[in-house]
Amino acid sequence: MSTKSGFPRFVYIFVTFFLIAPLIVLVVASFNASRSMQWERFSLEWYRRLFFQSRDLWRAVRNSVVIALSSATVATIIGSLAAIGIRWGRFRLKSYVQTVTLMPLLLPEIILGVSLLIFFASIGVPLGLGTIFIAHTCFNLPFVILIVLARLEEFDFSIIEAAYDLGARERDTLIRVIVPVSMPGILSAFLTAVTLSLEDFVITFFVAGPGSTTLPLYVYSAIRFGVSPVINALSVVMIAVTVALVLLARNMLKYIAK
Amino acid sequence: MYQTPAIAGSPVLTVRKNVLTVRRNVLTHQRKRDILVDVAPGRPNTRRRQSGKLKGSEVRIDGVDKAFGEFPALIDVSLTVKKGEFFSLLGPSGCGKTTLLRIIAGFETPDVGSVLIDDVDILPIPPNRRHVNTVFQSYALFPHLSVFENIAFPLRLRGLGEKVVTQRVESYIELVRLHGQARKMPSQISGGQKQRVAIARALINEPDVLLLDEPLSALDAKLRQQLLIELDTIHDSVGVTFIYVTHDQQEALSVSDRVAVMNLGRVLQIGAPFEIYEQPADEFVANFIGDTNIQPAVVTSVEGELSRLDAEGLGPVVVTCDVPPEPGHTVRHTIRPEKIRISKKRPEGLAPNTNILQGLVDERIYSGFQSKFFVELPSGYVIKAFQQHARFLDDGPEIEWKDPVWVWWNANDGYVVTPRGGDE
């Protein structure tokens, strides 16, 4: 780091402060016995309430996890196949297909949310977990396609020709060669999709129905009546889980890349 | 080990002198080949024929055209690869040799023409159902599978039992000498080893034809030589038809039974390595294969087999031709540098019809087994003459830079070719 000007160091401290400080405040507050920001004494009260007296919250968590895993799985399967098709398929309008699939990435979420809502209403689909699942799968697709495509770009096409040459049918080639070799890309696409789905608020807000509250929706509605320290405790648990997942994913990718 | 007789085999050269009078007609070639087979019993082809282990197929390519957009990659290509032959497609990059190989493999479809394997039209058959396997230039190993599983891949597709797979894979690991590497991943082995895996993988299905797309081009020179010899040995032991694509004339000459020289989408000449080298069909082949001196020349007179030419830079030369050129026509006269003798003293008692010229040594390149002399003639033309160092010290005084020297060659060693082939 440059010592001539204090600027880089200043930026460094500034960024660290605003990134880390809120998290520290959150962690501290979750262990505070008081509801207010004033420190009273150390307590695990909010954690007790989080784990034993928050049935609605856990239902929301369960909804979120179910939606995240299912929509990420479906989006990963469809998106990976789409990426393979875009990379190697020979069909008319290929470039248009590619552009259209990437559209949801560029559209503001609110427009996507509104249009999905109008669409579901017009074809008479009742709002609920089903519509959330469809919406999440839809907005996850372009991310999966982009991530898998990036992996396929560095793929030596001659190994596909080699597979055909050695007697593989199209399906053998897909299952025995393309998918295993693209696995790092597919896995990171899946993890990205899970994350995006877990945290999505805007689109979910439009397409959720009664009884299909996800975690972000629950947190939002809880906060409207003042920040409950239970939410703080939940946040700390989520931070811990996220850090654990990231570390796991990183090690896993490293292992696969070998 | 079998070597190209015309270059390395002195028996052939001796034989050749005996048939000098009827040289360069088809009959002689035939006889020469027969003699060749006799004096070189180690030739792979003969050995295979004797042991009766001919498993490969005949490949017949008939009138194949292929264009990529406006670019004609192949123009009216016809050739027949015999059963069990080691056949090379040789030419500079972009000559169409790889396209032809990919058509046989099934990755490209010709615009016109047919491809027959043992008289069966294979064009409607997709690549995965052709009994043809390819060794790719980039190896194309499956990065997620071990050496063992790479080789086992075709067997796994066929759903063979574990016991059969292990046994077969191990025998092929033996064949390509990869003992102890079976559990390694492709990223953990060297380029030469990767290519051996690719060869084993392509052979394990016992194809009728094995296609090799510049398989050695990514390896260093020494390893290339070694793998080339191994390829020849493998070819002997499996008896499959090999079609080998290369731009390296040394590779093609040293292992092939026959070579097709290609340029700009056309086959210019098909023949045994010594035919390609000694009797090039045109200027392109003469230039592309080996080193040569080549000059435009006007035919001044023809007396039977002997033609007199006025060659650019050399002046009047005599050359024997079995098909005499038309007087007055412009042809190309070519003489291989190793057939030119060089000496500081004027040679005595020369045979009739010897071309002899005087010049100054412009440069000498010593390379151990031979010296390359670049001799500047009075016309300013620089002629190449290679002298083999067959003995510890060659006779006569050492030839140095700027020495006046005599260079000479027999009319019989010169050759007349048509101007550049392959061009439109």
Residues B219 and B354 in one domain: no
Contact B413, B336 (CB under 8 A): yes
For residue B7, pLDDT beyond 60 = no
Query: Residue A66's domain is classified under what CATH number?
Result: 1.10.3720.10
B424 in a domain, yes or no? no
Residues B118 and B263 in one domain: yes
**For helices B26-39 and B10-18, what crossing angle results, to 10°?**
140
Whole-model pTM: value is 0.77
Domain encompassing residue A139 = 54-257
B422 in a domain, yes or no? no
How many CB contacts within 8 angstroms connect chain A with chain B? 65
Closest listed residue to residue B401, CA positions, set B368, B382, B373: B373
Contact B55, B206 (CB under 8 A): yes
B329 in a domain, yes or no? yes
Q: What is the ipTM of this complex?
A: 0.74
Query: Residue B124's domain is classified under what CATH number?
Result: 3.40.50.300
Distance of alpha carbon B96 from alpha carbon A196, whole angstroms: 50
Q: What is the mean pLDDT of chain A?
A: 86
Answer whether B153 sits within 8 Å of A169, measured CB to CB.
no
A34 in a domain, yes or no? yes
Answer whether A167 sits within 8 Å of B141, measured CB to CB.
no
pLDDT single digits (tens) A189-225: 998 899 899 889 999 999 998 878 898 998 888 888 7
A188 in a domain, yes or no? yes
Residues B242 and B336 in one domain: no
- Predicted confidence at residue B392, as pLDDT, reads 67
B166 in a domain, yes or no? yes
Residues A80 and A201 in one domain: yes
Contacts of A172 in chain B (CB under 8 A): 157
Nearest CA-CA distance, residue B214 and chain A, Å: 14
Residues B260 and B320 in one domain: no
A18 in a domain, yes or no? yes
pLDDT single digits (tens) A161-191: 999 999 999 899 999 999 999 988 898 899 8
Counting the structural domains of chain A, the total is: 2
A2 in a domain, yes or no? no
Residues A95 and A28 in one domain: no
Contacts of A183 in chain B (CB under 8 A): 144
pLDDT single digits (tens) B28-76: 333 333 333 333 333 344 334 334 455 789 999 999 999 998 899 999 9
B423 in a domain, yes or no? no
Residues A27 and A113 in one domain: no
Distance of alpha carbon A217 from alpha carbon A57, whole angstroms: 10
Counting the structural domains of chain B, the total is: 3
Closest Cα in chain A to B153: A166
A252 in a domain, yes or no? yes
pLDDT single digits (tens) B246-257: 999 888 998 899
Residues B85 and B219 in one domain: yes
Mutation site for B-interface testing, chosen from A161, A165, A169 by largest number of B Cβ within 10 Å? A165
Query: Residue B342's domain is classified under what CATH number?
Result: 2.40.50.140
Question: Rounded to whole angstroms, what are the CA distances from A70 to A65, A140, B274?
Answer: 8, 11, 68
- Predicted confidence at residue B53, as pLDDT, reads 52
Domain encompassing residue B73 = 59-278
Going by DSSP bridges, is the β-strand pair B354-366/B86-90 parallel, antiparallel, or unpaired? Answer: unpaired
Answer whether A165 sits within 8 Å of B105, measured CB to CB.
yes
A151 in a domain, yes or no? yes
Distance of alpha carbon B355 from alpha carbon B351, whole angstroms: 10
